[in-house]
Structure formats: C-alpha cells, structure tokens
Amino acid sequence: MPELARWLADTKRVSLDSLTPEPAERDSLAGLTRAMRALIDREGATEHDAAIGAYLTYRGSNADRDMVAERLVEDGTDPLDLHLLDDAYKTLWQARGRLLRGRANNLRD
C-alpha cells in the first residue's frame, strides 16, 4: 500500500481550494482511498475516489470539512463509506509516527 504510506508520511495537507484534485494527484488520491477501503474491508472503487482522497487529507476547519462531505454525498458518494473511510484515516493519521517508525525498523532488520 505505497499510496497509504505516502499520504501518511506527507505533512503537507490539501487546502480547501485544492479539493478538486490536480490531474497529477488524482491517481495517488484515488489509490489512497482504495487502500483505505481495503483496510476497512469495504469493496469497490468509485468515480469519486480522488475527491474522497482529497477530503481525507484535508486538515481545515470542521465546518469546511462538513461542507465538502455534504457536497461529496450530494454528488453520489455513499455516506456510510465516507464516514468509515474518514474514521479509519483519522485513526491512521493519529498513529502515523508509530506506523512509520515500525516500517523503518522493519526495513533495517
């Protein structure tokens, strides 16, 4: 899951203006969403995966995040899927230091 590790290691967060992903980032953000879906045992890919990935990595205000989530749901994103993905990503983001240190330790062994 290289996309997952990349986004967890990246301290640069997506801005509200960039929630429509740049073409160069679309595949990576979609890959992040699909990796998260695999971690939580949810199946399938959607046309919204890049936008969901941008939402997951956005670290702005709660009001802005709520507005974006509402827009994603209006555009056809499954609200349960979005909630579960967001929850899982937040958990991994909070534990990223331990996860990345463990990965580095495994690479040295």
pLDDT tens-digit map of 17-66? 546 777 888 899 999 999 999 999 998 899 999 999 999 988 778 888 88
Instruction: Provide CB contacts within 8 A for 97, sequence distance 6+.
Output: none
> Does residue 25 sit in helix, strand or coil?
helix
CA pair distance 103, 41, nearest whole angstrom? 22
- Global pTM reads 0.74
Report the domain count for the chain: 1
Q: What is the mean pLDDT of the chain?
A: 81
CA pair distance 29, 13, nearest whole angstrom? 12
CB 82 within 8 A of CB 72: yes
Q: Which two tokens stand for residue 95?
A: 């534990």
Q: Which two tokens stand for residue 86?
A: 């967001």
Task: Please check the confidence at residue 100 and state whether its pLDDT lies above 80.
Answer: no
Q: Which domain holds residue 18?
A: 2-108
